[in-house]
């Protein structure tokens, strides 16, 4: 059993301590191969996707390539995907996000979501999917409204991951069985600080973050 679990990282080196589990997210197509290889490690789970910062200059068959890799690798999740105000053109980001959500619902894969400054658009898009849902959604470094947390959690089987610098109000208002912690770096050891800080903010045991992560991944 892992002592810590990094719910969102971008590894450059898969030599990680045996007491840490993690979800290694791709940011762009160029990362997909390395993420898939990393997931051969027993402690590493992989997610491939196109991050909103990189939703430009994609080949016309990017989604077909993504589907093939997902079908060949049934454990693989989808991430990191999302919306980021002012980074790349929203007209480019939105269809790329929607397409990846469609793939997630069709193939039944959990998604890892980045959303900055576009929460209304995010919630409208999710709403437009009606009852079609990925098995779970992880909102990494959640920055949406505190008052939306309970609804999002319930509606989308959503989980929320934080670092130590997270707003204490968000941490305290996230259901205990839905909180994870992350480094959002290439060094999973940074998750130890995140776990201790978030546990202190929420008056929780760091083991809870590991249990929540395993439950999320296993769709329990
Ligand atoms: Zn990230």
Per-residue pLDDT band at 79 (split at 50, 70, 90): very high
Identify the pLDDT of residue 199. 97
Distance 219 CA to ligand 1 centre (A): 22
Distance 168 CA to ligand 1 centre (A): 21
Distance 205 CA to ligand 1 centre (A): 25
Distance 211 CA to ligand 1 centre (A): 21
- Considering only the C-alpha atoms of the chain, give the largest distance between any 2 of them, rounded to a whole number of Å: 48
Distance 19 CA to ligand 1 centre (A): 22
Where are the domains positioned within the chain? 4-217
Per-residue pLDDT band at 87 (split at 50, 70, 90): confident
Distance 107 CA to ligand 1 centre (A): 22
Distance 81 CA to ligand 1 centre (A): 9
Q: pTM value?
A: 0.97
In 3D, which of 98, 180, 95, 104 has the Cα closest to residue 136?
A: 104
Distance 6 CA to ligand 1 centre (A): 11
Distance 68 CA to ligand 1 centre (A): 23
Distance 45 CA to ligand 1 centre (A): 14
Is residue 124 within 8 Å of 108, Cβ to Cβ?
A: no
The class (CATH top level) of 4-217 is alpha beta
Identify the pLDDT of residue 145. 97
Distance 80 CA to ligand 1 centre (A): 6
Helices 119-128, 90-107: inter-axial angle, 10-degree rounding? 40
H helices of 40-189, where?
62-72, 90-107, 119-128, 149-156, 168-172
For range 170-183, the mean pLDDT: 97
CA count, 13 A, side-chain hemisphere, 58:
25
CA distances for 202 relative to 129, 207, 215, angstroms: 33, 13, 20
Structure tokens at 160: 């929320």
Distance 25 CA to ligand 1 centre (A): 7
User: Could you report the per-residue pLDDT of 182-213, keeping only the tens digit for each?
Assistant: 999 999 999 999 999 999 999 999 999 999 99
Identify the pLDDT of residue 220. 85
Distance 47 CA to ligand 1 centre (A): 11
């Amino acid at each position: 059993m892992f002592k810590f679990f990094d719910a969102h990282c971008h590894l450059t080196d898969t030599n990680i301590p045996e007491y840490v589990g993690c979800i290694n997210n791709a940011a762009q197509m160029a990362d997909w191969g390395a993420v898939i290889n990393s997931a051969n490690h027993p402690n590493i789970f992989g997610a491939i996707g196109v991050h909103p910062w990189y939703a430009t200059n994609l080949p016309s068959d990017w989604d077909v390539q993504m589907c093939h890799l997902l079908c060949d690798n049934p454990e693989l999740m989808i991430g990191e995907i999302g919306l980021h105000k002012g980074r790349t053109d929203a007209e480019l980001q939105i269809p790329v996000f929607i397409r990846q959500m469609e793939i997630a619902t069709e193939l039944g894969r959990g998604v890892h979501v980045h959303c900055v400054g576009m929460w209304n658009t995010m919630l409208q898009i999710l709403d437009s999917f009606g009852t079609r849902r990925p098995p779970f959604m992880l909102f990494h470094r959640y920055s949406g409204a505190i008052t939306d947390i309970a609804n999002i959690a319930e509606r989308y089987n959503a989980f929320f991951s934080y670092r130590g610098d997270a707003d204490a109000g968000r941490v305290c208002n996230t259901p205990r069985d839905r909180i994870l912690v992350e480094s959002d770096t290439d060094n999973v050891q940074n998750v130890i600080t995140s776990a201790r800080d978030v546990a202190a903010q929420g008056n929780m045991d760091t083991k809870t973050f590991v249990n929540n992560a395993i439950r999320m991944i296993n769709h329990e």
